[in-house]
Amino acid sequence: MDNGKRNNEAPDSGEQTTKKGISRRKFLIGGGVGAAGLLVGGGLWYRNNLPDSAIESAFNRALSSDRNRNYFEEDALHVITTGTGAPLPDPNRVGPQAVVVAGDQMLVFDTGPGSTRQLALTGLSISSVNALFLTHFHSDHISDLGELMLQHWTGTGVEEPLQIYGPPGVEEVVAGFVAAYQPDRGYRIDHHGADVMPPSGFGGVAHTFDIGTDLMASEVVYEAGGVQVIAFNVDHPPVVPAVGFRVNYKDRSVMITGDTIYSDSLIHHAMGADLMVSDALNHKMSQMLSEAGEDMENNLSSITEDIQESHIKPEEAAFVAKEAGVPVLMITHVLPPVPDFLKRPFLRDARAVYDGHLQMANDGTLISLPVNSDQFSIHELLG
């Protein structure tokens, strides 16, 4: 079992010195957070005539921003939904990804399109990722793998590649992305030098776990720093293999469904968890979209009908959470894409069966589960 490769230190706010002698933050919070926060007040004239000193101080403020740092100082199982969309384009959501931060571990689940940028914008350092876990190999769950591997390598010049865990097939997927990024690897080493971009840190290493196809089957696939990751099978027709994950840290746990239809086994795997992060497809809305798209000269209508066979309904996810005694249910992988004013209708049938905390996650929603308690708190890191 691989353990976390570099971050054995506590997630405190100290400084350390890299091999290049550059002082940097020890853990988690990378530079550059808040670049989107280069908001400049004042009128149009002022903005058009901004002195260099104001621009310089705006960059300094952005690079020193620790606005999300405090959330991670508490000893808790932290879960961030960095990507909450699905394959259909959604202006408000990138492809699926969840991130777990607990103790000295930072674990990533899936790499949907655009998720690497959202992860960077939360302020978490991608070079601090200890391991990536893939639920299955639909493109909307893997297409940012090249970017995640690249940012993991280039962020601080790590010397070990990204560790990537998945069911059978993960070797092929990783090898393909590594091959596709070979020219870029060469450019970056040539451009910045091997000291800044150690060649050994490029790419990823695949670790396969095989738990067969029994929906009740599960297996511990990773343990490090007090964090345990358990993989379990899910039913995601026609995709085999497809898995979900349960992550345990001290007395807290989260169950991440991945993509699945309803199955009684989900209740078993979610039993007693503090948080469930579930995909969901609103069948009624998907059917409406399918019918609305019937006259279009593309595949929207047939695709939105077909996908109804592959995803759990919000009310089914709510039923699982209720039966398993899970007090917080966050809906992700939102299908079909909906504007804000349809969020409540999307979850209406789910609310009828579940009286725990239920909401649609956003890109950047942080759910913190402090240890030795049954409390939870929710914050928006990208809002």
| Contacting positions for Zn ion (CB under 5 A) | 138, 140, 259
The residue among 157 and 336 lying less far from Zn ion, judged by its C-beta, is 336
Least distance from Zn ion to the Cβ atom of residue 86, Å: 5
Dihedral angle, C-alpha 311, 317, 323, 329, nearest 10 °: 140
Cα separation, 346 vs 326, in Å, equals 20
**H-run or E-run covering 146:** helix 145-156
| Number of alpha helices (DSSP H) and beta strands (DSSP E) in the chain | 12, 17
| CB-CB neighbours of 376 under 10 Å | 18
Least distance from Zn ion to the Cβ atom of residue 244, Å: 12
Least distance from Zn ion to the Cβ atom of residue 134, Å: 11
Q: What is the DSSP string of 347-378?
A: HHHHHHH--SEEEE--TTEEEEEETTSS--EE
CA angle in degrees (0–180, nearest 5) for 262-223-240: 35
Least distance from Zn ion to the Cβ atom of residue 27, Å: 31
Least distance from Zn ion to the Cβ atom of residue 312, Å: 12
187 contact partners, CB below 8 Å, separation of at least 6: none
The residue among 153 and 177 lying less far from Zn ion, judged by its C-beta, is 177
Least distance from Zn ion to the Cβ atom of residue 293, Å: 19
Phi then psi dihedrals of residue 230, to 5 deg: -115, 130
Least distance from Zn ion to the Cβ atom of residue 242, Å: 7
The residue among 163 and 310 lying less far from Zn ion, judged by its C-beta, is 310
The residue among 106 and 142 lying less far from Zn ion, judged by its C-beta, is 142
3 state SS of 107? strand
The residue among 138 and 207 lying less far from Zn ion, judged by its C-beta, is 138
Cα separation, 273 vs 358, in Å, equals 15
The residue among 134 and 206 lying less far from Zn ion, judged by its C-beta, is 134
The residue among 68 and 260 lying less far from Zn ion, judged by its C-beta, is 260
Cα separation, 322 vs 346, in Å, equals 18
89 contact partners, CB below 8 Å, separation of at least 6: 337
